[in-house]
Amino acid sequence: MDKTDLRYLKSLSNQYPTVASAATEIVNLQAILSLPKATEHFITDIHGEYDQFQHIMRNGSGAIRRKIEDEFGNAISAVEKKAIATLIYYPEQKMKQVLKKEENLEDWYKVTLYRLIRICKSASSKYTRSKVRKALPKDFSYVIEELLTGRPDVSDQEAYYNEIIRSVIRTGRASELVVAFCNLIRRLVVDHLHVVGDIFDRGPYPNLVMDTLMQHHSVDIQWGNHDVYWMGAAAGSAACICNVIRISAKYGNLNLLEDSYGINLVPLARLAMSCYDKDNCSCFKLDYRESEYDVRDAMLDEKMHKAITVMQFKLEGQVIMNHPEFEMENRLLLDKIDIKKGTVTVENTEYPLRDTHFPTVDWEHPYELSPEEADVMDRLTQAFLNCEKLQKQVRFLFTQGSLYKVYNGNLLYHGCVPMNEDGSFTRVNIYGNMYEGKALYDVLENYARKGYYAIDPEEKKKGQDILWFIWENQNSPVFGKGKMTTFERYFIADKKTHEEPKNPYYRLLEQEEVVNRILAEFGLSGAEAHIINGHIPVEAKRGESPVKCGGKLLIIDGGFSKCYQSKTGIAGYTLIYNSYGLVLAAHEPFESVEKAVQEGSDIVSHTTLVQHVVKRKTVADTDIGRELCTSIMDLENLLVAYREGVLVEKIG
């Protein structure tokens, strides 16, 4: 035994000071390895659609309905199963309905609690008692533990069991106990949540989505392009801040910034009114939801939309000129405008401009902010840097998130691995060094973290520029297109200029050798390794399948955002990975919580079994299982050290 091993075992002996304690822990860990693998839930491209997101979180993408079906089968009616599912999803709201309509509450409580206990026992069976105990609500921890561990079918326990329930009803706490059981079931049915990118933009409530994720018991996030530039804005990147405000304006969500995050947009409004007062801003109409937006504010918001867009093109131009290695010179278009002719030249072709009113642009220096714009930008930057709520949420994205994740034999990322037409990985210049494949992800993530955390001003600025690079560079893994044609969409009518050609990755992902190469790059192989991918909506209504390359790659963006649903025909895909395999769920649009509670409506439209395992997976087959096996080996070495006299037990 070398000195390093002995030093480690001495440290371990502080935690397990005797043969008995080490042996007991080995038995505990070995038992855990034999438990069924816990359920993972994959969701992507939420885009601020809080109500839809909340419902899918509550129903576990159908996992709770399957649990009810498994437990009761034909023993209760479909109507009763639907009612118990709705109760588990929305216990507080459903209880209000029950209290108003139910004539014999005591009987309802008894029947309902017995059913909830059965479901909860089933859901908790794959966990250790210790883990279940930690999940119990404080107010009912003793009661629930007794009800879960008791045996009501045994005569000498039946009276005890029934008395607990009667006492809870008699003391007026039955309603709270029902809610506690429902919350616990949701907590136990899905053990871990993966969010495969794009929490922000388009929908109105990404802040509420983030609040929910921050309260979740176990979650990881793979950053999407729409997340990254919000992170860049929080870090102080002026180009990213402009993008946040522009897209919020475009989708009628400026109130999100003002009301939810407390970002003061008055300086921008003043600039917009002073510079664009007589401008009808016809190219900057808003894509808002009429039921949720005050149209009286539309004219001002359109002017603000234009003001921040022009500032964005200037600031992005500065980043591009400062970093020729980004190879984005074709995105420098302000200097290609011939204001006298009213045209712009894009890729050697001249197009008429839809809008020629640029009062803040100095045509000798088109990428410089005017003094008024510079003042507004300084104020906005300080507002973003000092927004406590945004900073707290972005720190959560950094601590719980990454550009990719390898978890239990699956590779998770948003977007694509940048590739050439021949299927090789694209080599990308990042500050003078070339990177490809996994190394590209790693270096980009490293600089992204520097953009937020670095103390050195030069490193921090490089990191901020990389956050913007990740948002829209042609070689960014989370963007995956040849260019972002924002300028053309605003100012050029010819729709051919609006096209954003996809990376070759999307044409190659049905080729098994290409998918295997990607998996191998991230250390994965074998029939049970999968890529789980977000970012590009799957057009289900045209017959496109989210299952690619014989099930090796799953694109689970199916149109969570309402603005995509006319294109996809559904309202998003989610994925469940339990001990029996992978189940893909397609969802219908969610109408409202009220309808879900009143009518018991759900939104899982159909499910597809992607992969069914021959042998049920256990904890031993997971990443945590491999860590536990390592711990068992260490403890066995500790036992040997005790028994051979290398280490002495610490008794008393």
Q: Is residue 65 part of a domain?
A: yes
512 domain residue, yes or no? no
Burial 187-213 (b: 16+ CB within 10 A, else e): bbbbbbbbbbbbbbbbbbbbbbbbbeb
For residue 548, CA distances in Å to 46, 413, 545 come to 22, 15, 7
Q: Domain range for residue 359?
A: 206-487
463: pLDDT strictly greater than 90: yes
Pair 22, 169 in one domain: no
Confidence of residue 317 (pLDDT cuts 50, 70, 90): very high
Q: pLDDT (tens digit, 9 = 90+) per residue, 37-84?
A: 999 999 999 999 998 899 889 988 888 988 999 999 999 998 899 999
pTM: 0.92
What integer pLDDT is reported at residue 515 of this predicted model? 96
Count CA within 13 A, CB hemisphere, residue 107.
3
Of 258-272, 396-410, 565-579, minimum mean pLDDT range: 565-579
Tokens 């659609």 belong to residue: 49
Examine residue 567 and state whether it is found in any structural domain, yes or no.
yes
pLDDT in tens, 587-609: 777 767 777 677 666 655 566 66
What pLDDT is recorded for position 520? 97
Residue 246 lies in a domain: yes
Of the candidates 463, 487, 511, which is a domain's last residue?
Answer: 487
Predicted local distance difference test score (pLDDT) of residue 563 = 64
Percent of residues, the chain, with pLDDT higher than 70: 92
pLDDT at 50: 92
Look at residue 549 and tell me if it is in a domain.
Answer: yes
Do residues 281 and 333 lie in contact, with contact meaning Cβ atoms separated by under 8 Å? no
Nearest to 261 by CA among 130, 389, 415, 444: 389
Residues 6+ apart with CB under 8 A from 304: 245, 249, 254, 265, 268, 269, 272
> What average pLDDT does range 473-489 have in this prediction?
96
Q: What's the domain count of the chain?
A: 3
Is the same domain home to 232 and 188?
no
Q: What is the DSSP string of 539-597?
A: -GGGT--SEEGGGTEEE--S--SHHHHHHHSSS-EEEEEETTEEEEEEEPPP--HHHHH
Q: Taking residues 367-373, what's their average pLDDT?
A: 98
Which letter, b or e, does each residue of 468-479 get, where b requires 16 or more Cβ atoms within 10 Å of its Cβ? bbbbbbbbbbbb
* Burial class, 500, CB count within 10 angstroms (exposed 0-12 / middle 13-18 / buried 19+): middle
* Residue 371 predicted with pLDDT over 90: yes
pLDDT digits (tens, 9 = 90+) for 490-514: 999 999 999 999 999 999 999 999 9
Same domain, 291 and 337: yes
| 9/107 same-domain check | no
Distance CA 515, CA 500 (A): 23
Contact 325, 429 (CB under 8 A): yes
Q: Domain boundary residue among 487, 502, 524?
A: 487
CA distances 622 to 33, 35, 36, 66, 628, Å, are 9, 11, 10, 23, 10
What is the average per-residue pLDDT within 201-226?
Answer: 95
The residue assigned the tokens 């719980």 is 400
Look up residue 304 and give its DSSP letter: H
> 61 and 19: one domain?
no
In a domain, 515, yes or no: no
> Which carries the bigger pLDDT value, residue 287 or residue 457?
457
> Are 190 and 216 contained in the same domain?
no
User: Pairing state of beta strands 553-555 and 604-612?
Assistant: unpaired
pLDDT surpasses 90 at 561: no
Query: What number is the average pLDDT over the span 453-473?
Result: 97
pLDDT attached to residue 391: 98
Confidence band of 3 (pLDDT split at 50, 70, 90): confident
Same domain for 338 and 192, yes or no, is: no
- pLDDT, tens only, 288-314: 655 555 666 788 999 999 999 999 999
- Distance in angstroms (rounded) separating the CA atoms of residues 570 and 341: 45
Q: Is 23 exposed, middle or buried (0-12, 13-18, 19+ CB in 10 A)?
A: middle
Specify the pLDDT at position 564.
62
